[in-house]
Amino acid sequence: MSVTPLQALPLDQLRERTSAKWRTYPDDVLPLFVAETDFPLAPAITRALADAVRLGDTGYTGPDPGLRAAYAGFARRRFGWSPDPARMRSTCDVMMGIVEVLRGVLDPGDRVIVTPPVYPPFYDGIPEAGGVVERAPLRDTGEGWELDLGGIDAALAGGARAVLLCNPHNPTGTVHSRETLAELAAIAARHGAVVLSDEIHAPLTQPEATFTPFLSVSEEAARVGLALVSASKAFNLAGLKCALMVASSEEHAAVLRAMPAEVEWRTGHFGALASVAAFAPESDAWLDALLAALDENRRLLAELLAEHVPGARYRIPDAGFLAWIDLSALGWGENPARRIRREARVALHHGPMFGDEGTGHVRLNFGCSPEVLREAVARIGALVRS
C-alpha cells in the first residue's frame, strides 16, 4: 500500500522557529546542517504537549511517565524486538546516556573504539567519561560502508575495553546487517568487552533495509551490549531532552540501577510526554509518511547532485535524513562546507568534524521540502560553474 509523503512546512513559517537550525545563520542562508527536520509534529505529540501547557503540567518528570513501556511497544511493532521495560532507565539525551554508561563500565584510561567517519560528539563524550578514543574506521567496499571487524578485533586484542557503535550510522546512513552485528558481538564476548549501540536513527530505517537492534542479535549481544534510544531524531524532539538506556543482561541492568538518581532526574518532562506519544501506535502512520518523504528526498538528492554537482560522490543512505557527500574532486579544500556557506549561502555540516575520513566531505540534511533541497543544490551547482 502506498503512503502519502509528509509535507514539510513552508520556509517562511520555519523561519519563525527559534531553534539552532533557524537562528545560527542569517535568513539568506539555507540551513541544512544540524539534525533538525522541517516537518510538522506528529498530531499525538502536539496534543500531548498542548494538554500539558493547558494544565500547567510543567514540573519534574514523574517516576513512571510510561516511557519505558511505550518504547517496548514501539520496538515490538517496528523491529520485532521486545526489550524489558524493567531493564531501562531514562536520561536527558543519548550522548549523556553514553557518557553515564561508559562511566559505569570503564576504568579511567580505558580505550573505547569508534568507527569514523562518525558523529562528532563521540570524540568528546568518551574523554568526558574518562576513556580514550581509539579509531577503527569504516571500510569503504566501493558500494557502501561496513564495520572493519578485523580492525575492531585487533583493537580489542590490544587492550581496548569497549566499542561505541552507531547503528544506523551517522553520517553515512548505513544500517549494519544482522550477520555483521552478530560477529561484532562474538568478537566483543571473546575479549570481555562492552558494546554500546547508539540506535537513535533506527526509527528512520527505510522499508527495504532491515534494522536489527543490537541487543536482539544473539545471546552474546544481549550479554555484552547496552543500547541508547530516543524519539528525538525521528520525531524532531531534540530540544525536549529525553532518551532511554536499555540493557538485556542482569549485569548491565545493575549498571543502570547503580547510576545516581540525578541521571534520571535530567529527563525532560515534556520530552517524556512527547516520547510516549511518539512511540504510541497512533503515531505510526505519521512516521510512515515521514519515511515516504525522506525516501523521495534521498533519491531526489542523487538526481540533483548528478545534474548540478557532477563531481560529487553520494550513496543513497539506508536510513535517516543525512547525506554524506564527498566533494574532494571539486578542489574546495579539506572543509568544503566553509566555501559553500560563504559563497553559495548554504550551511552544511563540516566533514572533518567526523574524523580524518571526513576530509573533503560535507553532511547535508535532506529532512526538508523538495523545493528547499532543489534550491540548495542549485546554489552549490552555481558555485561549481563559477
Q: What is the pLDDT of residue 1?
A: 65
Q: What is the pLDDT of residue 386?
A: 84
CB 324 within 8 Å of CB 317: yes
Among the candidates 249, 282, 315, a domain finishes at: 282
Residues 226 and 249 in one domain: yes
Phi-psi region of 320 (alpha: psi -120 to 50; beta: other; left: phi over 0): left
Q: Whole-model pTM? A: 0.97
Residues shown for the chain? 386
Nearest to 88 by CA among 167, 206, 199, 210: 199
Task: Say if 6 falls within a structural domain.
Answer: no
Supply the range of the domain harboring residue 159: 46-282
- Number of domains comprising the chain: 2
Task: Say if 76 falls within a structural domain.
Answer: yes
Residues 200 and 347 in one domain: no
Among the candidates 282, 308, 333, a domain finishes at: 282
Task: Say if 222 falls within a structural domain.
Answer: yes
Task: Say if 4 falls within a structural domain.
Answer: no
Beta strands in the chain (DSSP E): 30-31, 88-91, 111-114, 132-135, 139-140, 145-146, 162-166, 194-198, 225-229, 243-247, 313-314, 322-326, 346-347, 349-350, 361-365
Among the candidates 228, 255, 282, a domain finishes at: 282
Residue with grid cell 505519521, as numbered in its chain: 286
Task: Say if 3 falls within a structural domain.
Answer: no
DSSP-derived pairing of the beta strands 243-247 and 225-229: antiparallel
Specify burial of residue 356 (Cβ count, 10 A radius: 0-12, 13-18, 19+): exposed
What is the rounded CA–CA span in Å between residue 37 and residue 235? 8
Q: Give pLDDT tens digits along the chain (386 positions).
A: 689 999 999 999 999 999 999 999 999 999 999 999 999 999 999 999 999 999 999 999 999 999 999 999 999 999 999 999 999 999 999 999 999 999 999 999 999 999 999 999 999 999 999 999 999 999 999 999 999 999 999 999 999 999 999 999 999 999 999 999 999 999 999 999 999 999 999 999 999 999 999 999 999 999 999 999 999 999 999 999 999 999 999 999 999 999 999 999 999 999 999 999 999 999 999 999 999 999 999 999 999 999 999 999 999 999 999 999 999 999 999 999 999 999 999 999 999 999 999 999 999 999 999 999 999 999 999 999 88
Residues 58 and 93 in one domain: yes
Residues 252 and 319 in one domain: no
Cell of 351: 566533514
Residues 220 and 313 in one domain: no
Nearest to 204 by CA among 238, 251, 169, 180: 169
Q: What is the pLDDT of residue 2?
A: 84
